[in-house]
Structure 1
Amino acid sequence: MALILPTAVPASAGESPRDSVIVLDGATSAEGIAAGRGTTFYAGELESGDIFKGDIRDSKATRFIDAPAGRQAVGMKFDAGTNLLFVAGGQTGKAFVYNTGTKEAVGEFTLAPGFINDVTLTRDGAWFTNSARGELYRLQVSREGELEGLETVPLKGPAAELPGPFNLNGITSVQGDRVLIVAHSAKQALFTVDPDTGQSALIDTGALPNVDGIIARGKTVWVVQNFLNQVSRVKLNHDLSSGEVRDVITSDSFQIPTTAALFGNTLAVVNAKFDEPAADLHEVVLVPARE
C-alpha cells in the first residue's frame, strides 16, 4: 500500500517534487527514527536522549519525552503490542525503554562499554548492536511488555571482526525473525546472524560504503549510507548469501542521513548533519521507497 507524501514543505530546486521535509522542532541533534502506529513516527535527539513524535502527514514533529539527564538516543524501534519504545543509548553503553502511552522511562539496562548503536525487535525480544564489540544483546520482552532479562550473544565469523572505530551498526530481521541482518560500517557490508548461535556470514552485495541504519521487508533491505547521502535498495537472493543493489535513492534534502523507517511505499529518513555540528535545524526527509 502506497502512502501519499505530504507537500507542506516544498522541495528545493533540482529535488524530486515528491520529497518532503518534517522539522524536528527544537532539536539540536538527531540520529534515530522508528515507525509508530499508522503514520506516526518517533525520532531521537542524539545528545540529550529526548524523543520527538510526529506524523508523516505534518510539517513538524514536537518534543514528546524529556529523557532523564545523561542519556543519548541512537537507533530505536516501537512495539505496537506493548506501546514500548526501545532506544539504543550510544556512548552510555545502555539500552533505554519508554512507555509511549504514559511517556515514562520504564527500563534502563547496562549492556557493555562502547557505542550501543541500533536495535531491532523480534519475537524473541529487542536486539542491540555495539559498534565497539563483536557481540549482540538480547533484551527479553514478554507479550505483556514485561522486561524479563538480558543476554549477551558473542558473534562468530566475519561480523565479529573489529577493523575500525565503528563496526557493527544497523540491525534488522528477516525470514520471520529466524535470521538477523547486521550492517558493518568498517567492512562496508551486510552479514546474516543466526540468533541462536551468533554465527555470521557475508551477504555478497559488493561494497556498501558508509553503511549505517538498515530496514527490511521481505527480501528487500534498505541501506542508509550516511556520508554518501543516499539509501540503497538491496534485493536479497533466496538463501541470503547475496544481494543486488536495485536502486539508489537520493534527495537534495539529505544531509548525512543515518536511519530510516518504512511506511508503505514511503521511507522516512532522519538527517544527523554530522558535517554541521552546530546545526540548529534537524529534519526527517520523506522519499519514495521504490520497491
Structure 2
Amino acid sequence: MYRHLRSLAVVTAVGLAALVPAAAPASAAPSAAFPTTIQLPNGFQPEGIATGIGTYAYFGSRGTGVVYRVDLRTGAGKVITEPTNTPSLGMKTDARGRLFVAGGTGGDGRVYDGRSGRLLAQYRFATTPPNTFVNDVILTDDAAWFTDSNRAVLYKVPFGRHGRLPAADGFETLALTGAYQHVDGAVNLNGIARTPDGKGLLVVQSNLGFLFRVDPRTGVTTQVDLGGVSVARGDGLLLLGRTLYVVQNRDNLISVFTLNKAGTAGTKVKEITDTRFDIPTTVAAFGNRLYLPNARFGVADPGTVPYNAVAVDK
C-alpha cells in the first residue's frame, strides 16, 4: 500500500465531546470512486485548502492568488475568483458558504462567496511587506482569526449578528505575550486551530517546532506539552474532536496528537506518510479522508510545472 501508519501510543479520550466549527466537513464517507489524487492546473502553486458545503474543496494559489474550486466526486474544477497577484494561503469555509482566505505578503484577509467567487470583504491588517505574512485562518463562533508569520500578533475579524462581517477597518490586532518568543527573519506562526473545548486557540511555530495555546481575550500564550515531541516545519493544523493533525511540510508527514480538553497537553499517537506527498502544506477533511495540496517548494519553473492534491485515510 502507498500509505503507511506508524502507531506510537494508544490514548483513551475522556470527557465531553469537543466543539467543532459550524462548517464541519460532510460526515458521509467518500465513495471509493472519488479520486485520491486531484490534478490542479499547471503552474497553480497551491498552498491552502478548505472543504465546503457538499462535495466541494477550495485551493488557493500562492502565485496569482486565485481560488480553484474542485468537486471531490470527480476531481473536476475551475477558477472562481479574480487574480490578486498576492498569495491565497490558509483558508476556511463557514456554514453560510463564505470562504475566508489568508493573504500572505498582501497583509490581508479576504472573504469570498464560495459559490460565485465574488469578493465580499477585505481586511488590510498590515501594509509593510516583508514585515507581514498573513498565513492561516480559523473560524470560531464569533470571529475569524488570522496568523502572521512575521509578527507576534493574531488578527481578529469579529462577526456581528447572524455572522455579519464588519467594515474594512473593523478588525482587531491581538499582541501575543507569555511563552511565545518571536524570531526575526524566520517563519514563525503558521497554522491555527481551536482548542477542543472551544475556549482557546492553538498556533504552531514552524521554525522552533513548538505548539502554543493562546488565550483569545488577552493574547497570553502557553506552550502545549507534547511530551518533548517537536513539530518543526509545522504548517497547517486540523482539529477533529480531540485529535490534532499537524502537517510538517518538508518532512512529508502528518503528526497526529490526542489533546486534553483544554488543549494544554497532547500525546503523539501516530504519523501518516504517503509516497505521493511532495511538500504538503495544510490539510482539510471530508468524510474519512484527509486532503492535502502538494506545494512542491523549490521545484524548477514553478509557474509551469504540474501540481496536485492527494487524499489519505485519517
Same fold (TM over 0.5): yes
Q: 1:277 to 1:109 in 2, by over 3 A?
A: farther
- What are the Cα deviations for residues 142-165 of structure 1, in whole angstroms up to 9, with x where unaligned? 354432120000011122422651
Deviation at 1:239, TM superposition (A): 4.0
Counterpart-to-counterpart distance in 2, 1:59 and 1:99:
21
Q: Distance in 1 between matches of 2:30 and 2:122?
A: 37
Gaps of 5+ in 2: 1-26
How far off is 1:174 after superposition?
A: 2.4
CA distance in 1, matches of 2:94, 2:48: 15
Secondary structure of 2:145's counterpart equals strand
Number of equivalenced pairs: 277
The CA deviation string for residues 47-87 of structure 1, in whole angstroms up to 9 with x for no partner, is 111001112222333222223x4332010111122x21111
Taking a change above 3 Å as real, the CA distance of residues 277 and 91 of structure 1, as seen in their structure-2 partners, is: farther
Give the counterpart letter for 2:271 in structure 1.
V
Partner of 1:84: 98
1:1-291 residue pairs with structure 2 within 5 A?
1=27, 3-4=29-30, 6-7=32-33, 20-67=36-83, 69-81=84-96, 83-112=97-126, 113-148=131-166, 149-162=170-183, 165-205=186-226, 206-279=229-302, 280-289=305-314
CA distance in 2, matches of 1:200, 1:128: 16
2: CA distance, partners of 1:126 / 1:21: 30
Shift of 1:40: 1.2
Identity %: 36
**1:269 and 1:103 mapped to 2: Cα distance?**
22
SS at match of 2:57: strand
In the TM superposition, residue 172 of structure 1 has moved relative to its aligned partner by 0.7
Contact 1:134 1:162 in 2 (8 A): no
Number of the residue aligned with 2:16: none
Q: Specify the code of the residue in structure 1 equivalent to 2:105.
A: Q
**Mapped partners of 1:66, 1:259: distance in 2:** 23
Q: 1:97 to 1:175 in 2, by over 3 A?
A: same
Which TM-score applies when normalising by structure 2? 0.83
Q: Matched residues in 2 for 1:183 and 1:277: separation?
A: 29
Matched position secondary structure for 2:46: coil
Residue 176 of structure 1, CA deviation: 4.7
Instruction: Name the SS of the counterpart of 2:274 in structure 1.
Output: coil
- Deviation of 1:277 (Å): 4.4
Q: Is the 8 A contact 1:84 1:145 kept in 2?
A: no
Of structures 1 and 2, the one with the larger relative CO (CA 8 A, separation 6+) is 2
Task: Please give the secondary structure, in 2, of the residue aligned with 1:159.
Answer: coil
Offset from partner CA, 1:158-196 (integer Å, 9 cap, x none): 224226510000001123531100011012021111111
The alpha carbon displacement at 1:33 in A equals 0.3
In structure 2, the CA distance between the partners of 1:277 and 1:234, relative to structure 1 (3 Å rule), is: farther
Runs of 5+ unmatched residues, structure 1: 10-19
**Any conservation in 2 of the 1:44–1:73 contact (CA below 8 Å)?**
yes
Q: Partners in 1 of 2:42 and 2:252 — Cα distance?
A: 23
User: Does the residue aligned with 1:259 lie in a helix, a strand or coil?
Assistant: coil
RMSD after superposition: 1.8
Aligned to 1:16: none
Q: Which residue of 1 aligns with 2:14?
A: none
